[in-house]
Amino acid sequence: MHRETSLQVSDLIWPLFVTDGTGVEQPVASLPGVSRWSCDVLARRAKAAAELGIPCIALFPNTQADRRSDDGAEALNPDNLMCRAIRAIRDAVGDGIGVLTDVALDPYTSHGQDGLIDDTGYVRNDDTVEVLVAQALNQANAGADIVAPSDMMDGRIGLIRDALEQAGHANVQIMSYAAKYASAFYGPFRDAVGSGGLLKGDKRSYQMDPANAAEALREVEMDIAEGADSVMVKPGLAYLDIVRAVKDRFDVPVFAYQVSGEYAMIEAAVAAGAGDRDALVLETLMAFKRAGCSGILTYHADHAARLLNG
User: Interface residues with ligand PBG (CB under 6 A)?
Assistant: 102, 104, 106, 114, 150, 186, 189-190, 203, 259-260
For residues 9 and 103, which CB has a smaller minimum distance to ligand PBG in the complex?
Answer: 103
For ligand PBG, the closer of residues 186 and 255 by Cβ is 186
On whether the CB atoms of residues 91 and 43 are closer than 8 A, the answer is yes
Please state, in angstroms and rounded to a whole number, the distance separating the CA atoms of residues 197 and 176: 26
The DSSP H or E segment spanning 251 is none
121 burial class (0-12, 13-18, 19+ CB within 10 angstroms)?
exposed
- As measured in angstroms, the least distance from the Cβ of 274 to ligand PBG is 22
What is the nearest approach in angstroms of ligand PBG to the Cβ of residue 28?
11
Say how far apart CA 67 and CA 93 lie, in whole Å: 28
- Is the distance from CB of 39 to CB of 84 less than 8 angstroms? yes
* Residue with smaller CB distance to ligand PBG, 173 or 263: 263
Rg (CA), the chain: 18
Q: Which of 117, 235, 122, 132 is nearest to 187 (CA)?
A: 235
Q: Which of 45, 41, 57 is nearest to 97 (CA)?
A: 57
Q: Which is nearer to ligand PBG, 106 or 267 (CB)?
A: 106
In the complex with ligand PBG, the residue whose CB is nearer, 156 or 190, is 190
Three-state SS at 234 = strand
The catalytic position among 47, 200, 203, 234 is 234
What stretches of the chain show up as alpha helix (H) in DSSP?
Answer: 39-52, 81-93, 125-142, 156-166, 187-193, 214-226, 240-249, 260-271, 277-291, 301-308
Q: How far is the CB of 22 from ligand PBG (least distance, A)?
A: 26
Q: How far is the CB of 259 from ligand PBG (least distance, A)?
A: 4
Say whether 47 is catalytic.
no
Closest contact distance (angstroms) between CB of 107 and ligand PBG is 8
The answer to whether residues 281 and 275 touch, using CB atoms and an 8 Å cutoff, is: no
Closest separation in Å from C-beta 62 to ligand PBG: 13
* Closest to ligand PBG by CB, 74 or 114: 114
Q: How far apart are CA 165 and CA 167, in angstroms?
A: 5
Question: Which residues are identified as catalytic?
Answer: 180, 234
